[in-house]
């Protein structure tokens, strides 16, 4: 059982991912998986994650207060009562619950607490938690906002130096270095995140373009298949119709000619079925070895004209010039063949009165011209220009023009100047002469 192309692409991507995964060191894979799980929890329940982070730092700040650890960093002339130290510890930790949604507001809220902290000389270690909302600002805000937050962070420390000069150097240096480290870390993380988002966006854009190109290719292929089926079915049915009409007429006067017409109908029908089976077989996914007989070339022009003659339309073939065989690619030959086939089919279907046709091929060093004319007096909708009233009948002329355009050629179709028939003029540049 064959796998559809889309499923095969998915399997190939999974195999490639598994191969890449095998080259990742085990420790790196464990750390990456743990971080991925944490990010997944954060995406599903961001408020729960914020509460967990806030709770962790609140407990750490309270433990620092209850254990008296803050006294090791406090100045000798500290004037802050212990309840104020507890309030300041909570003031630096509890607002972290809104560090991601309102980071600038959190910095503004912590600034007066920081000012009280340095002016009392307590210098609780929880004051460094101000760097967490500053880090969030670096990740998502403009550098002007980050600069304002940095000034709000340093202003209390600088002003505290005037209150307690003894701790000027140590506190300022530690706060400045902490701020520099957090800002640089935030810039690195932000740059990495933006780079990753740009890669993901580019991958999505390329995937979208790939799907769009696939849809365009499918549409073009459907148009090509429809054109081929139109040429195959339309031509052979027109030949069969002409043979059937001629056979019905001959049956009354010449049974032998009627039998010949029936034989020709059978031959034409079998040929049409063979061509359709070959075309449809190529389209089926479960038949990868479907027969792929080459498309018709100009060598098969004579049998085509013979079939049309048997259908009752006298056709005269004229060749002018020497064919430049090295420039007549299979695609170009197929275009000429199909245009002649469609033009003769239209003559069979729509011309009235005594009608004959002439096919003239003219080769020049740079171009190939094909001219198909007939002497029919009919001007049915199928032989008129494309109009809104006859869209289906105009598909044949549109298909011929599309085929000519594929090779930078031109096609003109319309009544002959003397109004005694129809003319189709095809002009194709030879491929070796393209600029």
Instruction: Give CA–CA dist 184/175, Å, rounded.
Output: 14
- pLDDT of residue 434 exceeding 50, the answer is no
Average pLDDT over residues 245-260: 66
Which helix (H) or strand (E) covers residue 412, if one does?
strand 410-415
Residue that wins the pLDDT comparison between 161 and 345: 345
Instruction: Label residue 433 by pLDDT band (50, 70, 90).
Output: very low
DSSP state of 388: T
Backbone angles phi, psi at 102, to 5 degrees: -140, 65
Residue 386: the pLDDT is 42
Please check whether residue 53 is in contact with residue 45, taking contact to mean a CB–CB distance below 8 angstroms.
no
Instruction: Give CA–CA dist 328/411, Å, rounded.
Output: 18
**Would you tell me how many other CB atoms lie within 10 Å of the CB of residue 66?**
12
Residue 181: the pLDDT is 92
Phi-psi region of 386 (alpha: psi -120 to 50; beta: other; left: phi over 0): beta
In the sheet that holds 315-320, the strands lie side by side as 315-320, 357-363, 367-374, 422-429, 410-415
Backbone angles phi, psi at 312, to 5 degrees: 110, 5
Tens of pLDDT, residue by residue over 154-204, are 888 777 666 666 556 667 778 888 899 999 999 999 999 889 889 988 988
> Which range is most confident: 100-104, 229-233, 373-377?
100-104
Average pLDDT over residues 145-155: 88
Tokens matching residue 28: 């790196």
Instruction: Label residue 360 by pLDDT band (50, 70, 90).
Output: very high
- pLDDT of residue 37 exceeding 50, the answer is yes
Instruction: Label residue 280 by pLDDT band (50, 70, 90).
Output: low
Instruction: Give CA–CA dist 110/129, Å, rounded.
Output: 9
Radius of gyration of the chain (CA): 42
Instruction: Give CA–CA dist 62/76, Å, rounded.
Output: 22
DSSP, collapsed to helix, strand or coil, labels residue 387 as: coil
Q: Tell me which residue has tokens 């080259």.
A: 23
Backbone angles phi, psi at 147, to 5 degrees: -60, -40
Residue 424: the pLDDT is 92
- pLDDT of residue 359 exceeding 90, the answer is yes
Average pLDDT over residues 260-269: 69
Length of the chain in terms of residues written:
435
Tens of pLDDT, residue by residue over 193-241, are 889 889 988 988 888 888 888 888 777 767 766 666 666 666 666 677 7
Residue 133: the pLDDT is 92
Residue 166: the pLDDT is 59
Q: Tell me the pLDDT of the chain averaged across its residues.
A: 76
Residue that wins the pLDDT comparison between 169 and 100: 100
Closest CA to 97 of 42, 127, 52: 52
Q: For 298-435, which CATH class?
A: alpha beta
HSE of 139 in the Cβ direction (CA atoms, 13 Å)?
A: 16
Residue 381: the pLDDT is 41
DSSP state of 391: T
Instruction: Give CA–CA dist 247/241, Å, rounded.
Output: 10
Residue that wins the pLDDT comparison between 375 and 29: 375
- pLDDT of residue 380 exceeding 90, the answer is no
Residue 235: the pLDDT is 64
Backbone angles phi, psi at 402, to 5 degrees: -65, -40
Cβ-based neighbours of 175, under 8 Å, separated by 6 or more: 128, 153, 154, 157
- pLDDT of residue 431 exceeding 70, the answer is no
Q: How far is CA 40 from the centre of its chain?
A: 29
- pLDDT of residue 322 exceeding 50, the answer is yes
Residue 125: the pLDDT is 81
Could you write out the DSSP letters of every residue in 283-349? Answer: H-TT-TT---PPPP-GGGHHHHHHHHHHTT--EEEEEES---GGG--HHHHHHHHHHHHHHHHHHHH
Average pLDDT over residues 119-130: 81
Closest CA to 350 of 424, 300, 269: 424
Average pLDDT over residues 21-26: 67
Specify which residues 429 forms β-bridges with: 367
Burial of 275 (0-12, 13-18, 19+ CB in 10 A): buried
- pLDDT of residue 15 exceeding 60, the answer is no
Average pLDDT over residues 303-329: 80
Residue ranges per domain, the chain?
Answer: 1-44, 298-435
Residue 79: the pLDDT is 66
Specify which residues 224 forms β-bridges with: none
Residue 391: the pLDDT is 45
**Would you tell me how many other CB atoms lie within 10 Å of the CB of residue 138?**
23
Instruction: Give CA–CA dist 324/349, Å, rounded.
Output: 33
Please check whether residue 320 is in contact with residue 362, taking contact to mean a CB–CB distance below 8 angstroms.
yes
Of the ranges 25-39, 91-105, 270-284, which one carries the lowest mean pLDDT score? 270-284
Residue 361: the pLDDT is 92
């Amino acid at each position: 059982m064959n796998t559809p192309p889309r499923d095969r692409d998915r399997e190939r991507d999974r195999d490639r991912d598994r191969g890449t995964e095998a080259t990742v060191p085990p420790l790196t894979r464990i750390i990456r998986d743990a971080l991925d799980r944490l990010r997944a929890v954060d995406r599903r329940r961001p408020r729960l994650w914020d509460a967990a982070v806030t709770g962790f730092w609140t407990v750490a700040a309270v433990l620092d207060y209850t254990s008296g650890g803050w006294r090791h960093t406090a100045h000798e002339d500290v004037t802050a009562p212990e309840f104020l130290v507890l309030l300041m510890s909570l003031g630096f930790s509890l607002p972290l619950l809104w560090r991601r949604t309102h980071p600038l507001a959190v910095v503004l809220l912590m600034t007066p607490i920081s000012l009280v902290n340095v002016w009392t000389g307590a210098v609780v270690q929880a004051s460094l938690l101000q760097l967490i909302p500053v880090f969030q600002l670096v990740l998502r805000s403009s550098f002007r906002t980050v600069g304002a937050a940095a000034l709000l962070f340093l202003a209390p420390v600088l002003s505290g130096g005037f209150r307690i000069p003894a701790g000027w150097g140590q506190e300022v240096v530690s706060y400045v270095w902490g701020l520099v480290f957090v800002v640089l870390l935030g810039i690195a993380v932000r740059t990495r995140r933006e780079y990753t988002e740009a890669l993901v966006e580019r991958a999505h854009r390329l995937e979208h373009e790939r799907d769009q190109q696939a849809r365009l290719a499918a549409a073009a292929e459907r148009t090509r298949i429809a054109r081929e089926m139109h040429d195959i079915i339309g031509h052979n049915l027109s030949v069969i119709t002409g043979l059937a009409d001629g056979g019905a007429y001959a049956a009354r006067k010449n049974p032998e000619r009627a039998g010949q017409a029936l034989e020709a109908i059978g031959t034409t029908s079998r040929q049409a079925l063979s061509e359709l089976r070959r075309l449809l077989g190529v389209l089926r996914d479960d038949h990868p070895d479907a027969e792929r007989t080459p498309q018709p070339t100009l060598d098969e022009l004579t049998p085509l004209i013979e079939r049309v003659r048997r259908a009752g339309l006298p056709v005269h073939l004229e060749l002018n010039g020497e064919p430049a065989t090295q420039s007549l690619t299979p695609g170009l030959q197929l275009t000429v063949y199909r245009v002649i086939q469609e033009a003769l089919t239209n003559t069979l279907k729509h011309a009235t009165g005594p009608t004959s046709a002439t096919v003239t091929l003219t080769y020049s060093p740079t171009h190939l011209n094909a001219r198909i004319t007939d002497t029919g007096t009919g001007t049915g909708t199928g032989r008129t220009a494309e109009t809104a009233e006859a869209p289906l009948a105009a598909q044949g002329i549109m298909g011929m023009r599309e085929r000519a355009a594929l090779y930078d050629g031109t096609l003109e179709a319309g009544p002959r100047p003397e109004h005694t028939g129809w003319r189709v003029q095809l002009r194709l540049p030879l491929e070796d002469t393209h600029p």
